[in-house]
Amino acid sequence: MSFEPPRLNKRITLSEAMGKWGWPNPPLKSNYEILLGDGCDAACLFCCAYREIGKWLPLESVKRDILREKARGTQMITFSGGEPGIYPRLAEAAAFARNSGFRLIQMVSNGLKLSDPEFAGRMAGAGLNLAKISIHGVNAATHDYLTGRKGAFEKALTAVNNLNRLGIYTSTNMALTRVNYRQLPLYVKFFHEEMALSGFCFYFSFYTGRMAADQDLQVPYSEVLPYVRHTLEYMRLRRIGIDWKVLGNFLPCLMPEYANLMMDWGAASVADTKASVRKKGGSFTSMEFMEKRKIKPASCRGCVYYSACYGVDARYCERFGTAEFRPVKEKPRAFPLRPVY
């Protein structure tokens, strides 16, 4: 029997969410991401994490982080993992963040747990008001294959529907691999028209963990870029608003006109980075976190983005070389899509 996606419905708009939750005016100045542990209830073929099931950050440690970040003036708390939905004390952690004064409380999730309306309702009651659901294709054949879980696509769509119904601002993440990158334009069309979403993040997969071992998933940037351009042009023509930056693990030199839509670059120094990450063993700014995985090829010298670029995934370079990364001499005019935050 084929699965009929739940149709919605209306979702909360960004301006409604800002008013309802008291979110700060854009741009967002700071986000602190708490990686609660590496445990996950999916088995994604491209997963770049090293899974240590059951090793969670203690709640007391999470609470200490939240209080410290509040005192520092951090604006947003993000719970991720692994899969934060299976962290045993997630609702308590979210409620603690809300009661500590955070107005932006996000969860990055595969949606398996959030497909349960009771769990989704509990998270809404605890203060969750922003969710990114990882969906890696436009159909069950693609998403279930990539996540290693039969029924995952149906559950992810049900999670989006639950979140929309609860008034939680929801968007999707898509990890780009050889299996799914050609679906990009259809992906946006489907999730915008059928699921009422406008927030998307397209993340070029890191070549660590399982992704580094699976050559069938690996694809060079140059094959993916035409599909990204086509998708962004579609979004522009359809006037699909962009809430946050949409391109993850892309380098400005690959498509300089779209650099303003890329995350993972832009800070001139570690102290200037907007986002921080908490993982077992310490806290890092996102720039420090990325620098551990990235290198700057010798060919980068003279690039106008050099000081603000975090570099290229080192393992990607081992696989495909560095010829795609050519220094940019002059910044071009930006593509006319602007992220709100």
The reply to whether 261 sits near ligand SF4 by the rule CB under 6 A is no
Please say which residue, 76 or 262, places its beta carbon nearer to ligand SF4: 262
- In whole angstroms, give the CA distance from residue 17 to residue 23: 7
Exactly one of 251, 261, 262, 287 binds ligand SF4 (CB under 6 A); that residue is 251
Closest CA to 135 of 102, 164, 162, 110: 110
Please say which residue, 5 or 311, places its beta carbon nearer to ligand SF4: 311
CB 136 within 8 Å of CB 146: yes
The reply to whether 327 sits near ligand SF4 by the rule CB under 6 A is yes
- In whole angstroms, give the CA distance from residue 96 to residue 92: 6
The reply to whether 309 sits near ligand SF4 by the rule CB under 6 A is yes
| Cα within 13 Å of Cα(124), Cβ side | 17
Exactly one of 138, 267, 312, 317 binds ligand SF4 (CB under 6 A); that residue is 312
Q: In this chain, which stretch among 64-72, 170-178, 229-237, 250-258 interacts with ligand SF4, using CB under 6 A?
A: 250-258
Give me the least distance between CB of 243 and ligand SF4, in Å please. 24
The reply to whether 306 sits near ligand SF4 by the rule CB under 6 A is yes
- In whole angstroms, give the CA distance from residue 70 to residue 144: 38
Q: In this chain, which stretch among 13-21, 205-213, 221-229, 307-315 interacts with ligand SF4, using CB under 6 A?
A: 307-315
Q: What length does the chain have?
A: 341
Helix locations, the chain, DSSP H: 14-21, 59-72, 90-99, 117-126, 140-147, 152-166, 184-193, 209-213, 221-237, 286-291, 314-320
Give me the least distance between CB of 26 and ligand SF4, in Å please. 25
Give me the least distance between CB of 286 and ligand SF4, in Å please. 16
- In the chain, the N- to C-terminal Cα span, in Å, equals 41
The reply to whether 305 sits near ligand SF4 by the rule CB under 6 A is yes
Please say which residue, 88 or 332, places its beta carbon nearer to ligand SF4: 332
Give me the least distance between CB of 314 and ligand SF4, in Å please. 12
- In whole angstroms, give the CA distance from residue 293 to residue 205: 12
Exactly one of 175, 224, 261, 303 binds ligand SF4 (CB under 6 A); that residue is 303
CB 184 within 8 Å of CB 228: yes
Please say which residue, 34 or 290, places its beta carbon nearer to ligand SF4: 290
The reply to whether 267 sits near ligand SF4 by the rule CB under 6 A is no
Please say which residue, 192 or 296, places its beta carbon nearer to ligand SF4: 296
Exactly one of 191, 252, 260, 315 binds ligand SF4 (CB under 6 A); that residue is 252
The reply to whether 300 sits near ligand SF4 by the rule CB under 6 A is yes
Q: In this chain, which stretch among 48-56, 80-88, 157-165, 323-331 interacts with ligand SF4, using CB under 6 A?
A: 323-331
Q: Any idea of the CA torsion for 307, 309, 311, 316, to the nearest 10 degrees?
A: -160
Q: Any idea of the CA torsion for 334, 234, 12, 133, to the nearest 10 degrees?
A: -90
DSSP class of 51? -
Give me the least distance between CB of 141 and ligand SF4, in Å please. 35
CB 10 within 8 Å of CB 196: yes
Rounded to the nearest 10 degrees, the angle between the axes of helix 221-237 and helix 184-193 is 30
Q: In this chain, which stretch among 176-184, 239-247, 305-313, 330-338 interacts with ligand SF4, using CB under 6 A?
A: 305-313
- In whole angstroms, give the CA distance from residue 309 to residue 260: 13
> Using CB under 6 A as the criterion, which residues of the chain lie in contact with ligand SF4 when the complex forms?
251-253, 296, 300, 303, 305-306, 309, 311-312, 325, 327-328
